[in-house]
Amino acid sequence: MSNTKKPEPIDEYVAARVQQRRREIGMSQETLGGHLGITFQQVQKYEKGANRMSVGRLFSISRALRVTPGYFLDGFHDGGGMALAGFGEEEGQPALEGAPQGDDDILRLVQSFALIKDAQVRSAVADLVAAIARFNG
């Protein structure tokens, strides 16, 4: 009998979201590990879902990746019709469940957006993209 336990679906989902966000902002596993005080191998285990993350660790990861902890749960479906969406989002904002996964344009947009240092410019760009989405949706 195997001593390894298969990760729960939510653990796998959160792990994939950590990896996705890290890649979106162009951060290496080594850099994330440095922010957390752990090795890149431990980051790999988190991203594969091999090791579960505590709430404290998830909070630290969210700070290093510049998102809210709820980001990692957005769009999760438990298989029974329950969806966790909208954590920290404004009323009327769409959940991430409909967002295309692996879309190169989205990745390029997020990576470029992360490079904007001026808060007012970032806000203006975010408003512009939201306005375009409203009129194009």
Q: Can you tell me the distance from the alpha carbon of 97 to that of 71, in angstroms, rounded to the nearest whole number?
A: 12
Question: What CA–CA distance (Å, rounded) separates 21 from 79?
Answer: 23
Quick: pLDDT tens for 49-77: 889 899 999 999 999 999 988 888 888 87
Closest CA to 43 of 54, 29, 57, 31: 29
Q: Per-residue pLDDT for 93 more than 80?
A: no
